[in-house]
Structure 1
Amino acid sequence: MIRPVRVALAATLTLALTLPAGAATAAPAASVAPALAAGSPAGAVDRATALRWAADTWRSMVAMTDPGTGLPADNIDGDLATGSRAKYTSPTNIGSYIWSALVARELKLIGERELVGRVDAALSSLARLDRHADSGMFYNWYDPATLELLRTWPVDGNPVYPFASSVDNAWLAAALMIVHNALPQLRGKADPLLNAMDFGFYYDPQALGADVPVGLMRGGFWVEPPPGCSLPGNYRDRGPDVHYTCHTYGAFNSETRMISYVAIARGQVPPAHYFGPWRTFPDTCDWSWQEMKPVGGYREYAGVRVFEGAYRYRGLQFVPSWGGDMFEAFMPDMFVPETRWGPNSWARNHPVYVRGQIAHGLDDAKYGHWGFSPASDPAGGYREYGVDAMGLDTPGYTSDQERTSVDYGFEGCPDRPAQPEPAAYGDGVVTPHAVFLALQYAPAEAQTELAKLRRDFDIYGPGGFYDSVAVRSGTVAKRYLALDQGMVLGALGNLLGDDLLRRQFTPGGAERLLRPVMRMEEFSVPARQ
């Protein structure tokens, strides 16, 4: 059993640095794919095949769920044995289960009565969990069988310091917003939980300086002083001080933008906060620690001056994520119709970002496969994976076990000379959820890749695709993670269910407050590439 650390990676490796470095710390093989129809993304994917994937993936979510509390475990072994359920869960896992149940109903894998029963049980258990009373936020780790707040890690006995993660709570809030819109008969249970959650508790209005009219979100807070760095404070002046993380989230193309989406949609931070995080960091030597020197320039929106930077990789120009992975780039897009609401930003960026992932796997690293994102490490445990060149972080998330990285240098800055390109890459790790997230933007290529994964590896089990595979050695991580399975079902629900999750998330505040600011922006990404 592993301790999945995706949230910890988000909090640690997606650090949003807000000060300059000196002031702060082979082509797809069509023969292996089912027949592909032309037309819309959904029409380009074989529906019967996709429904089988969804049914099997849903089976893993059911197996992870405790029948007494209705809450999912964080992960389960590949054989779906109930005794292998993890003895911990998080707000993200619970949110994943709730939206996956909506998808299961939409795809007729379960009926309305079962959907309502499952979500009702989960909401009842959520209401019993220990929360931070002044913000309404949930802590990161609970026992899904007893509902106890964890203070000792069940795997190794190490102490757990209760932490209220901003991004974890954002995923749960998204699920509760969907319940409000999709299941009005459960609003009496969902709305009190959602209405108590105040994301302004994380919002540091001075994070970018007194002369910038918007701030940034903290990674979270502890109610007790933790080991290591923390900052006492209380942005709402409500209740005792908490102990905030020492970092804020300032990398825009990251899963952490979901915090901003929820907070803006709920009217808890100003809509112009959307323009606070960096697209890339600026192109001066003060920021030469980032992966490469960006191209682009400044634009102003809603009184906020934004550096519209972009990176270039294999002839493609795009706004990078923090680590170069699919989870960061596309999970928020499961809920917010980014390409429709951002026609000159996300609509340009998302297809190109997928093309970069494909180019890395097939042409650059020559794995014969693609799809890189944090996932189970086939050698044991959990690790971040990505395309190093497509991330802001210089050490980067790498695509192989050997951590083969690139360093393009920073032109004009003597402390960052370019380094030679890698001669070769090692044992690349592909995770199916990354390929599922690409289905909307490269449907034929994604379905081909999923078929190739099944052809080449023992990667499919009773709960659908296992979590990851090291493609040169063929080592498979035979386990299922609630969040990764939730991304698979979310992607399929949108693809086959006419944007199901987006339709249920956006009515109300998201449409009224978030959409107008998203429509303003133009990335430094060409309309055609």
Structure 2
Amino acid sequence: MPMKPSDRNPLDPSPKVRRRAALTAGVTAAVLSLVVPSAAVAGPAGGPDNGKRADPLNQYAADTWTSLDAMTDETTGLPADNIEGDLSTPSEYTSPTNIGGYLWSTIAARDLKIIDRKEASARLATTLDTLETLEVHEPSGMYYNWYSPTDGSKLTIWPDSGDVVYPFLSTVDNGWLAAALRVVAEAEPRLARQADALYDTMDFGWYHDLNAREGVSLNRGGFWDAPPGDGCAVPGNYGDEGPDVYYTCHWYDTSVSEARIATYLGIANGQIPETAYYGTYRTMPDQGCDFGWQEQKPTGVTREYLGVSVYEGVYAYRGMKLVPAWGGSMFEALMPDLFVPEADWGKRSWAPNHKATVRSHIEHGMDEAGYGYWGFSPASDPFASYREYGVEEIGINATGYASDVESTDVDKGYEGCREAANPDPEFGDGVVTPHAAFLALPYDRKAVLENLDGIKNELGAYGPGGFYDSVAVGSGTAAERYLSLDQSMIMGAILNEQKKDKLKDYFVDRGFEKAVRPLVEAQIFGTELSGR
């Protein structure tokens, strides 16, 4: 779907210049505040509230909900994947993640008093009723990746192009829908039986390869129930019933990934072994040049958890050490943290690593690249359709997710294996994605609100449905579109911030905590926050 150009003169860099001038004095303080719990930072950007200023998060939530309402079909209760910035044209497709995001966003809208309980319950009931009618892969109970939001039919032809769709069942997309069903069951008791029944049919064991690597089991990326027309596929059946399916040729094998939500759920449900939590890579191993293609040479130690040998590798970035994501985006690192209290349970792992990730994004945007803004995740492209954005140096993939339009690649080489090709680049027109900043709220509320205030009021990347999906800060060109996934991350982040981690409370029950918390508590990352 094409983007609408911003009204701002693309040759006018003044918003960026003004922003940097205004924030230069405060950047150091904002970065250092990462070591202070968010509860100690009161009120909106600029200082304590003292009852004199309205909290902008409440308005952001109300406007964000407007976009989700606009993209949701009243009859089916299914949200479109995206909608144009004027809220006039929703897409003709949706996914399990989109549906899940709408469910937890409806709960958030209710708890934040944007809609009343009666409306919220009616909306949730409509969506659950439709979920009961959607075609699924019967043996596994998993949902296909694309449906029509208007009639719930499984898509076999792509609406925009007429291309053939080979029905696929995604591990991570089903993970987010399952997470949402857990939330609904707890948050809306009148619908608990229906939500639980849908959840109980979903078997994540269908995705789990017990022999992915020697001594290690991992989730596949998903499967097709018939051979796809192109690409790599591996026939098999991890569910031990029904005909073979056709698995992706890749596994989800990195720890800092949004796909870990499926691992948490599978372990909690008893569908995959608890050792799977330790099977993913923190970094690729440091084994000569076999993994010399990764972004940098890691450091770390090897530890054993439940008999699984784990290289607890870290990357270095601007005086810090942290476990990287594949592409270096906030979404990969922090979306599961909306539901699982990783920082509370993982005092020696996720707590410092989430802080380091946020700090890395701030330092990259404000200092290293000099954009004047920060927060980088996959989102709409201001000049095209969709693209991944991140802090490339904290991504395992050597080409990573760039933070700018120019796809600037930082390449400092790999000792003894790869010469440095671009160790100190000049960055171009940076692209920030507001939902990424919202995910950072638990780790630096003050810096988040300052950043969002500038994106809204100086860059003008704000419309009737809240923040546009991304904005190129140098040219001021916004992707004037709303993605339901990104909007639902915003709703979840605001609910947690305003209502003391309410989304986590809905998601985690005693059984989940008993199964997952000891695994998270035991883990030790080599993260170090001391930096510039």
TM-score with structure 2 setting the length: 0.91
Deviation sequence 1:164-190 (CA, Å, 0-9, x none): 000000000000111122222112221
Equivalent position to 2:243, from 221, 240, 243: 240
Task: Note if contact 1:405-1:422 (Cα within 8 Å) is conserved in structure 2.
Answer: no
Is the alpha carbon distance of 1:420 and 1:149 closer, same or farther for their aligned partners in structure 2, counting shifts above 3 Å? closer
1:363 equivalent to 2:370? Answer no
Two-structure CA RMSD over aligned residues (Å) = 1.9
Contact 1:264-1:509 within 8 A present in 2 as well: no
CA contact (8 A) 1:28 1:448 kept: no
Q: CA deviation at 1:193?
A: 1.1
Distance 2:405 2:58 in 1: 32
Structure 1 residues 235, 66: closer, same or farther in 2, change over 3 A?
A: same
Q: Match of 1:354, SS?
A: helix
Say if 1:121 and 1:388 are closer, same or farther in 2 by CA, change over 3 A: same
Does the CA-based 8 Å contact 2:320-2:528 persist in structure 1?
A: no
Match of 1:402 among 406, 416, 437: 406
Structure 1 match to 2:335: 331
Choose 477-486 or 37-46, whichever is displaced more: 37-46
Q: CA deviation at 1:39?
A: 7.2
For residues 150 and 40 of structure 2, the distance between their equivalents in structure 1, rounded to whole angstroms, comes to: 38
2:467 is aligned with 1:465:
yes
Query: What is the aligned partner in structure 2 of residue 191 from structure 1?
Result: 196
Q: Take 1:146 and 1:508, find their aligned partners in 2: how far apart are those partners? A: 37
CA contact (8 A) 1:42 1:496 kept: no
Query: Structure 2: which amino acid aligns with 1:50?
Result: L
Identity %: 52
Which secondary structure state, in structure 1, belongs to the residue aligned with residue 213 of structure 2?
coil
1:276 to 276, 279, 286: 279
Gaps of 5+ in 1: 4-25
- Cα distance in 2 for partners of 1:292, 1:450 equals 32
Equivalent residues of 2:356, 2:529 under 8 A apart: no
Q: CA deviation at 1:267?
A: 1.5
Per-residue deviation, residues 184-205 of structure 1 (Å, max 9, x unmatched) = 2112221221111000000000
Are 1:179 and 2:184 counterparts?
A: yes
Kindly tell me: are residues 495 and 472 of structure 1, through their superposed partners in 2, closer, same or farther at Cα, counting changes over 3 Å?
A: same
- Kindly indicate whether the alpha-carbon contact (under 8 Å) linking 1:41 and 1:495 is maintained by their aligned counterparts in 2: no
In the aligned structure 2, how far is the partner of 1:527 from the partner of 1:410? 23
Secondary structure of the residue aligned to 1:279 is: coil
Q: CA deviation at 1:27?
A: 8.1
Residue in structure 1 matched with residue 14 of structure 2 by the alignment = none
State the distance in 1 between where 2:467 and 2:140 align. Answer: 38
- Which of 44, 49, 52 aligns to 2:59? It is 52
Aligned equivalents of 2:115, 2:397: Cα separation in 1: 42
Moved more, 480-489 or 109-118: 109-118
Q: Does 1:259 align with 2:253?
A: no
Amino acid at match of 1:325: S
Within 5 Å, give how 1:36-185 maps onto structure 2.
40-41=38-39, 43-46=41-44, 48-81=55-88, 84-185=89-190
**Which of 17, 23, 26 is residue 29 of structure 1 equivalent to?**
23
Q: Return the alpha-carbon distance in structure 2 between the equivalents of residues 306 and 27 of structure 1.
A: 45
Q: Is the 2:94–2:149 Cα contact (8 Å) retained in structure 1?
A: yes
Q: 1:76 to 1:350 in 2, by over 3 A?
A: same
State the partner residue of 2:490. 488
- CA–CA separation in structure 2 for the residues paired with 1:498 and 1:131: 36
Provide the C-alpha distance between the structure 2 equivalents of 1:259 and 1:383, rounded to a whole number of angstroms: 23
Q: 2:2, 2:210 → 1: CA distance?
A: 37
* Equivalent residue for 2:452, pick from 426, 450, 467: 450
**Which amino acid letter does the alignment assign opposite residue 274 of structure 1?**
Y
Give the secondary structure class of the aligned counterpart of 1:440.
Answer: coil
Structure 2 partner of 1:15: none
> For residue 248 of structure 2, what is the amino acid of its counterpart?
T
Superposition deviation, residue 31 in structure 1: 9.9
The Cα shift of 1:29 comes to 2.2
- Kept in 2: contact 1:265–1:509 (CA 8 A): yes
CA contact (8 A) 2:410 2:425 kept: no
Q: How many Å separate the matches in 1 of 2:239 and 2:249?
A: 18
Q: Give the letter aligned to residue 267 of structure 2.
A: I
In the alignment, is residue 342 of structure 1 matched against residue 346 of structure 2? Answer: yes
Return the offset for 1:407: 1.2
Shift of 1:528: 5.5
Deviations 1:210-266 (A, max 9, x none): xx1x40000000011001210000012110000000111101101111110111121
Q: Deviations over 1:122-154 (max 9, x none)?
A: 000011111000000000000010111000000
CA gap of 1:104–1:265, structure 2 versus 1, over 3 A, is: same
Q: Which residue of 1 aligns with 2:47?
A: none
Gap regions ≥5 residues in structure 2: 4-19, 45-53
Following superposition of structure 1 onto structure 2, how do residues 373-452 of structure 1 map, counting pairs within 5 Å? 373-413=377-417, 416-452=418-454
Give the SS at the match of 2:314: strand
- Mapped to 1, the partners of 2:281 and 2:87 lie a distance apart of 42
How big is the shift at 1:412? 2.6
| Residue identity in the other structure for 1:139 | Y
**Contact 1:32/1:452, CA 8 A, preserved across alignment:** no
